[in-house]
Structure 1
Amino acid sequence: MAGLEESDPEPMVPEADPRGDPYLRTRFAVPARPETFLRRERLVRHLDQALRTPLTMVNGAAGAGKTLLLADWAADRETPLAWFTTDAADQGPGMFWAYLLEALRTVGVTLPPGGGSPADASQVPRTLLARLAAELSTRDRPVTLVLDEYDRVSDPEIAEQLEFVLHHAGPGLRLILVTRTEPLLPLHRYRAAGDLTEIRGAELAFTPEEAAALLALHGLRLPVSAARALVERTRGWAAGLRLCALAAQESPDPERYLKEFEADRSTVADFLLAEVLKRQSPEIQDLLLRVSVLERFCPELANALTGRCDAGPLLAGLHRDNAFVEHLGHDRYRLHPLFGEILRAHLRVREPGLEPELHRRAARWLRRSGSLTETLGHGAAAGDWEFTAGALIDDLAIGRLFTGLLADDLTELFSRMAPEARGPATDLVRAARDLSRCDLEHGLAHLHRAEQGLARERRANDPPDSAAAELSCALLEALAARLTGAVGRAEEAAEAAGRLRERVPAQLLDEHPEITALLLAHLGSARLWAGRFEEARAALTEVADCAGGASTALLREDALGRLALIDYLGGWPGRAERKARAALTETERFGLPQPSGSGIGRLVLAAVAVDRNELRKARALLDTAGASYPAMRDPVLEAGRALATARLHLARGDTRAALEAARPAVVADADSPWAQGQAALVAAAGHLAAGRPETAAELLEGMPDEQVGCAVGAAKARLAAGRPEAAVDLLDRISPDARSGPALTVRATLVRAQAADETGDAAAARRFVAQALHEARRDLLRRPFLEAGPWIRPLLGAAPLRALAEGWLTPGATPPEDRPPPVVEELSGRERDVLLRLAQPMSTEEIAADLYVSVNTVKTHLKSAYRKLSVNRRNDAVRRARELGLI
């Protein structure tokens, strides 16, 4: 505390204030610190600058910890420090200066001879202020004066007098104002001159580490993660943290209490209602209660809720006064989270039934201003589902239910839609919801009801423009066609959508690129199921190349995966792998949940891994491809999953499991030629394993001519039946226009090699095997050689073929089953950053702080890294990353 100065005896001074009342000595006392007070060194160090600048301002909301911070800092001061707690009851400058002079005297500060004290409570002689400033300016050691609760001083004359004394006192006075509001002083001049030290609300807020330390002083040993959640909810507000800590002490589960406490039923509510709300005028109280239903707001929206026109200056004043109204910039505001919770509860008590009406007003105002996401939130909160669904449909935003960052939020929002809500828009939303879950029966029923409602509206007089709703119908028709593999229906829906696009404002189409991408994705997938590969490739390539950022990332991922499947079916594993890997990174860079999309890219990578005999990797990829987005679980996906799974079982010698996997429960309006062909290949493998090559050949020869893989399989079956000439004849009949890739040509070449070997043409056999090795080497196609049979081993073991097989096909180069699973996908740069910090070791919260991201973002990166490394725990992830040289 401040020391006393030695001085000559002062002249007689009055023992009473100008009104004749004795001075209240408590107003000169430095407040005591509670036992649970936490010293925060960062703030103490900042306050030390107060000794170097004439003016210091500690400005924060009620309960921000301003006074206790100054009291703690003052305890260690060696220079004279006077404390004066102001009071709104003081009437006039005379009372203020009488108390201020007495505060200086209480710490032994010598005042000017004849200075005395103001005799009139309403005024102070100018000469007294001048003598005080002159006396202070001559001091060898400056005096520090703390004016606590300075926001109670509202007289501009006092502010002008205080600034006069501060200016003329020079280095003899260090003034510290503790205030909730901006003082009436020329702060801009002090800032410009570097003569002002400021500590404001953001700096006063507790950090998670400080909050954890404060809770510990209350006997609550909680992890920083729990403290962080509390800090997020309280914004680090000191009084809120202390009151929560005191209440949590009484709870049997303190950590759970701090996570879930009801703000409106706590001492926090009592504090905020008394210290903040009830200090405001009735008009401002009404404003605060009404805007409490808003997450963020501008003055115009606040006016719409209050019916007033003066919200702008009122909100600006509340922000300046630290009344728990935060300014977000660009004339946007929000309430402190706890304050908002408490106000909403108070609103329900004070104005029962008003809250839904406020949400309804907000929704309509936001609809006019073009803010769809907030419009939907408030429309749902009002229970006005016809308006809410109508806003979604009229904005052409129905595609957001299927793709983009808000898909899950919108799905959850409309899951609360009341069953009695009726109309084309609500039926369309219900249809989209059900079709996104692959519930065709209910989805189509709602879709047909919506189409009938729109038809009735068109027949009515002056029907509204329903182009957006009709285009939404076409989109859902295309989705239904995709889910049922009905390519004709998909083509009709796409044609209808093309006509409707001309009636929809171009601006809406530009704002919602996901609509066009979804239509093309549904059309391309239906064509793919029908085996119309080139037409499917054209539509899916448009999707893969489309813009739209996060809103179309899911669709680009799926389209790339399906393009990879087309390449794989054509026998091009290298191309398929590149597209599939590109698919896997498409959603990660936008922060979408992983794994996302249909997972078809992983299925293709699994099939490629089987062709390379990397069976552990294939199993890991199949496992991660299981959690696909429901709306993309169409026949193509299920057939692709069956193909990859059956191939893996065949590679492991489990023919029975392969046959079961090749018969998925695919519900489609028409059969897919390639899916039938792949199932036939698996069935033929079963017949060959059972010694029935003729049956296998007949099964495969019944497939269409364009099924090159089936023709090669049939030739192999003829060869197994002892008919090499028939096998070669089947291969010769394959059309040269098939443009098959190496996965097919290598197998065909090996059939020719075996036929030559069996007919005694050793030179031709070696030539064909050499050709197959050259073709297979680039894509590491090992399975065709492993499946060829014992006849090929002597050839591979002899020069010069041994040299062609060395390093990639020989037994030592084939990945053994007991080797740790390889990395399924490359780690992103951010995932490596997280793993590096995980190895130090650092907690999730520490990693988030170090990388300046949220804890949830770190968890997302960790989950993705675990999947790629095929591990489930932190230590295993670090070990695997080190084994692979990734960190």
Structure 2
Amino acid sequence: MTTTVSYQFATVPPLPPRHVPRPRLLAALDRAADAPITLLCAGPGAGKTVLLAEWVKNLKGRVTWVTPRRADAEPERFWRLLESALPAGDEQDRGQAFEPAADSAFDPVRMLFSQVTDETDPLVVVIDDAHVLTHPDVLDGLDRFVKGWNPGLRLVLAARSDPLLPLHRYRLAGQLAELRAADLAMTHEEIGKVLAVHGVAIPEPDFDLLVARTEGWAAGVRLSAMRMQGTERPADFVVQLALDAGSIGEYLVDEVVQRLPEDHRRLLIETSFLDEVTGPLADAVTGLAGCGEMLTGLARDNAFVFPLDPTQTRYRYHQMFREILRYLLQRREGSDVRLLKERAAAWFEAEGDLGSAVYWAVQAGDRTRVASLFARGGLGYAFAHRQDMSGLRLRELIPASESAEPSVAAFAAESVSVPPEGAAAELDRLRAWRSAHQVADQELLVSCDLAELILGQKACDVAAVDAAAARILDAPQSGPRHIQGLRAAVLLTQAATHFWHGRHEDVGALLDQALAEVRRDGPDVLELEVLSMTAFVDSFWARTNRAETGVQAAHALRKGRGLGVPPLLDLATGVRALVAGDLGGGETATQRIALPGAVGADPALEAAFALVLAGGLFAHRREDEARAVLHQQAERVLPPVLRAHRDILLADLDTASGRPRSALARLDAYRGTEFAVLTSPAAARASLASNDARGARDCVRSVLTSPSAQTGRLALLDAMLCDAQIAQLAGDEGRALEILIRALDVGRGEIILPFLKAGDTFTALLARHPDVGAQWPVAMADDALAAVPAQRIPRELPDPLTQRELTVLRLLATTMSTVEIADELCLSVNTVKTHLAAIYRKLPASRRREAVLRARELELI
């Protein structure tokens, strides 16, 4: 049997000019044929009517389309409207006016089912603007239609909000197919096609901005394309807000804003300056009551209000809609807008969100509140939550005064904004002010100490950091402005400062304390930073297995909490890639870094990224590029570890350029210091280039025999390869080969960079000993040897060390005596000796140096 298309031409809207088909949505409507009811629910301009008109145009079967108005919502009017729109018995009668029967009482469901006599000739009933149907009798009739579904009859509803039908029951029974606003939103491809049919071409960044502003809203896309059509510079209109005839602004005002009740309009306009809105916040800002219920209703009605959480307590507005609302707000008196922002600041302060309170106090220009908030917890909150305050002009807003509160606020603001080069002078100024003013207020004292901590970190003053940290950690952490995560953030700053100053023995313990504190009482973003710092430290020391575990833990937390990638995590990835010889991976990880301006952000990170990038470039034999990167760090205030690594790279560049004496002169400043061990391999390479084998041997021995905390596997391998080169130059091939075998065992196929930097030094030796050459982790330049990376060997102790034993072990790697270790840990000497005996037994080792070497091999320190 051949079916024909039959519908009411007068009621089905025509497709708009330059219509772009949407096959994916048409297919979704086709797939929904097995459900008795299909619902398209989205706000105005989402493309519901156009989509259904396109679908109906290509549909094989009979179609009835009705668009009831509010006056048609009465049962008798609606059912008569629907009955009159049903297809007539033959072509002659189709579309004639309905003649009501003498007996007006009839069953609408039976009336619908009577239209289907053959399932091969189905009937689709489309009800557009179905949200106007609110009468219980009409809804009951539609519900009975679903309950008694006839497969030859299908109901399609298009509505701005959910019709008052038991949709949850339909979903559970598999009787409902739905297309929501997210489904109807235009994809990148569809937006591109709309622009193309209007003859509009814009650069990719402007296109991405248009996508972000419209959020795929069909009317917004089409109106934007129409506005840009025929203009010389269409991209100029991407961010333009227009309210003239035919514009997006006019559409939103007429179709949405003006149709809302007065209190709903006021709610939306007066909260439009907020990026995120809650019911209580809206109540406080507007002075209205019941804003939470209004927001819920607006979201339910698809009025460009979107919930941000499953419980629907937090909301945001569609970007274009918010722009229109903000425009309407800006037309008011400035004092009215300032009052709204002051109310927002007061509400956030009462809720304990001091970061947002400071932000809105700044936006309101409330200088007194800004000073009070920043001096009394605002700095601590921003520090613990890593809030970016770089664009708030805090220092300009805080009034000059001799009294304590604004003075402390001014120092706090200065600690945030001052560059590292000026931090030392500002630190001295703050200390002088504290000496001249006896401040007893505990909140002000904590802010002063925190300002000293931040300034000390910027000035690379480890003593200032430790002194300020001790005072903050000893201060009572309770009261109305208890700052969650402050202790963890302070401990993290201490750990980072100690690390960059080479005080590695207590970095692990500080990070452990910080992690325990942040998991007990701290924000997710700070926990992620602590995990990232731990992963970076392990990557720095080439503790490959632990570093990989740490990176995975950090990424798991980041993905689970919806957080971004912190720079420290990218730095850990870059260091791991560099150590593993993945020079491309290391360069990629370091070049994509965007350092934040967050309060408390480690000022050493920029230089650390530069050094990792320069190290990769140097290993790539791109010496000029590496030198250019390093010279950018020449005048910066750098902590000792980074300064030493910068000079090591510069010395290696000098040696590679045929200037070994210049390299030795650069490294001579480290002789006799705690960083001599760190710089000795580079000095050995420069000495070899100067034909000073004895000097090179002295440098190597200082590394191989030193228990310094600066000696890691990377430095150890560097020294061992230099030692092997010395033996090879002396003609002692057996010893050179023995050293290389030991080096391969230390590297375990995980640490590749030193072997990569060795280049062709051992090509001939390894070619004569292919069994050793087969284990060499990088290919030789002449391709004589294949790269066969060794397998990672997980090494675990059968009897793990306790936390106290690990603490003793870390101190064992220093030059401290047993008595000094006991004094440091507040233990008796006999207790320390008991711990040492347990450490030697578990590792196993017979003496101190052997225990330290074994611990480093197992990545315990």
Corresponding position of 1:241: 221
Corresponding position of 1:364: 346
Instruction: Identify which of 315, 324, 328 aligns with 1:342.
Output: 324
Cα distance change, pair 521–501 in 1 and its aligned pair in 2 (3 A): farther
Alignment root-mean-square deviation, CA: 5.7
Alignment-mate amino acid for residue 491 of structure 2: T
SS at match of 1:411: coil
Partners of 1:101 and 1:41 lie apart in 2 by: 31
Corresponding position of 2:389: 410
1:46 maps to 2:14:
no
1:68 maps to 2:50:
yes
Percent identity between matched residues is: 24
Instruction: Identify which of 506, 511, 525 aligns with 1:543.
Output: 511
1:592 maps to 2:577:
no
Tell me if the contact between 2:13 and 2:50 (Cα under 8 Å) persists in the aligned partners.
yes
Corresponding position of 1:836: none
Corresponding position of 2:820: none
1:270 maps to 2:275:
no
Corresponding position of 2:803: none
Tell me if the contact between 1:3 and 1:80 (Cα under 8 Å) persists in the aligned partners.
yes
1:851-879 per-residue CA deviation (whole Å, 9 max, x = no partner) reads xxxxxxxxxxxxxxxxxxxxxxxxxxxxx
Alignment-mate amino acid for residue 639 of structure 2: D
Cα distance change, pair 465–89 in 1 and its aligned pair in 2 (3 A): same
Instruction: Identify which of 172, 185, 191 aligns with 1:211.
Output: 191
Instruction: Identify which of 626, 639, 660 aligns with 2:644.
Output: 639
Partners of 2:145 and 2:782 lie apart in 1 by: 87
Question: Deviation at 1:320?
Answer: 2.1
Tell me if the contact between 1:746 and 1:775 (Cα under 8 Å) persists in the aligned partners.
no
Tell me if the contact between 2:113 and 2:153 (Cα under 8 Å) persists in the aligned partners.
no
Alignment-mate amino acid for residue 414 of structure 2: A
Question: Deviation at 1:750?
Answer: 9.2
Corresponding position of 2:804: none
Corresponding position of 1:174: 154
Alignment-mate amino acid for residue 66 of structure 1: K
Give matches, 1:18-97, under 5 Å. Answer: 28-48=10-30, 51-90=33-72, 92-97=74-79
Give matches, 1:274-353, under 5 Å. Answer: 274-328=254-308, 329-331=310-312, 332-353=314-335
Instruction: Identify which of 708, 712, 737 aligns with 2:698.
Output: 712
Partners of 1:166 and 1:678 lie apart in 2 by: 79
Question: Deviation at 1:280?
Answer: 0.9
1:648-674 per-residue CA deviation (whole Å, 9 max, x = no partner) reads 31244224653685599x9xxxx9934
1:253 maps to 2:230:
no
Corresponding position of 1:468: 446
Tell me if the contact between 1:136 and 1:169 (Cα under 8 Å) persists in the aligned partners.
no
Corresponding position of 1:432: 415
Corresponding position of 2:475: 500
1:328-368 per-residue CA deviation (whole Å, 9 max, x = no partner) reads 32222221111111101111114543333222222332333
Corresponding position of 1:862: none
Give matches, 1:80-229, under 5 Å. Answer: 80-90=62-72, 92-104=74-86, 116-117=99-100, 125-127=104-106, 129=108, 132-133=111-112, 135-136=114-115, 141-161=121-141, 163=143, 170=150, 173-221=153-201, 227-229=207-209
Partners of 1:33 and 1:467 lie apart in 2 by: 69
Question: Deviation at 1:287?
Answer: 0.9
1:526-548 per-residue CA deviation (whole Å, 9 max, x = no partner) reads 4x3xxxxxx54224653388525
Partners of 2:555 and 2:35 lie apart in 1 by: 51
Higher Cα radius of gyration: 1
SS at match of 2:231: coil
Partners of 2:627 and 2:657 lie apart in 1 by: 15
Question: Deviation at 1:627?
Answer: 8.1
Tell me if the contact between 1:523 and 1:539 (Cα under 8 Å) persists in the aligned partners.
yes
Question: Deviation at 1:295?
Answer: 1.7
Cα distance change, pair 806–306 in 1 and its aligned pair in 2 (3 A): closer
Alignment-mate amino acid for residue 592 of structure 1: P
Partners of 1:257 and 1:524 lie apart in 2 by: 51
Partners of 2:106 and 2:683 lie apart in 1 by: 110
Alignment-mate amino acid for residue 430 of structure 1: A
Tell me if the contact between 2:46 and 2:185 (Cα under 8 Å) persists in the aligned partners.
yes
Partners of 1:256 and 1:674 lie apart in 2 by: 60
Partners of 1:437 and 1:632 lie apart in 2 by: 6
Corresponding position of 1:727: none
1:8-29 per-residue CA deviation (whole Å, 9 max, x = no partner) reads xxxxxxxxxxxxxxxxx99x42
Alignment-mate amino acid for residue 222 of structure 2: R
Tell which deviates more after alignment, 489-498 or 642-651: 489-498
Give matches, 1:623-702, under 5 Å. Answer: 633-655=638-660, 658=663, 673-674=673-674
Partners of 1:428 and 1:52 lie apart in 2 by: 69
> Which ranges of structure 2 fall in alignment gaps of 5 or more residues?
519-523, 559-564, 571-589, 594-603, 793-861
Partners of 2:176 and 2:764 lie apart in 1 by: 86
SS at match of 2:471: helix
Tell me if the contact between 2:424 and 2:456 (Cα under 8 Å) persists in the aligned partners.
no
SS at match of 2:294: helix
Tell which deviates more after alignment, 69-78 or 767-776: 767-776
SS at match of 1:101: helix
Tell me if the contact between 2:241 and 2:249 (Cα under 8 Å) persists in the aligned partners.
no
Tell me if the contact between 1:32 and 1:71 (Cα under 8 Å) persists in the aligned partners.
yes
Tell me if the contact between 2:427 and 2:452 (Cα under 8 Å) persists in the aligned partners.
no
Tell me if the contact between 1:545 and 1:556 (Cα under 8 Å) persists in the aligned partners.
no
Partners of 1:202 and 1:711 lie apart in 2 by: 69
1:95-154 per-residue CA deviation (whole Å, 9 max, x = no partner) reads 43443333226785989xx994279xxxx9333747735744657644333222233344
> Which ranges of structure 1 fall in alignment gaps of 5 or more residues?
6-24, 529-534, 568-574, 698-708, 717-730, 827-887
Corresponding position of 2:492: 517
Give matches, 1:466-865, under 5 Å. Answer: 466=444, 468-476=446-454, 478-479=456-457, 483-484=459-460, 486=461, 488-500=463-475, 508=483, 510=485, 513-523=488-498, 525-526=500-501, 528=502, 536-539=504-507, 542-543=510-511, 546-547=514-515, 551=526, 591-593=565-567, 594=570, 595=590, 598=605, 616=621, 633-655=638-660, 658=663, 673-674=673-674, 712=698, 807=773
1:604-623 per-residue CA deviation (whole Å, 9 max, x = no partner) reads 8899999xx96738888777
Cα distance change, pair 219–491 in 1 and its aligned pair in 2 (3 A): closer
SS at match of 1:362: helix
Partners of 1:46 and 1:516 lie apart in 2 by: 55
Partners of 2:149 and 2:774 lie apart in 1 by: 87
Question: Deviation at 1:211?
Answer: 1.3
1:798-818 per-residue CA deviation (whole Å, 9 max, x = no partner) reads 9x99759974999x986699x
Corresponding position of 2:577: none
Question: Deviation at 1:488?
Answer: 4.8
SS at match of 2:100: coil
* Number of positions where the alignment pairs a residue of Structure 1 with one of Structure 2: 716
Partners of 2:33 and 2:553 lie apart in 1 by: 56
Cα distance change, pair 187–107 in 1 and its aligned pair in 2 (3 A): farther
Question: Deviation at 1:71?
Answer: 1.1
Cα distance change, pair 238–676 in 1 and its aligned pair in 2 (3 A): same
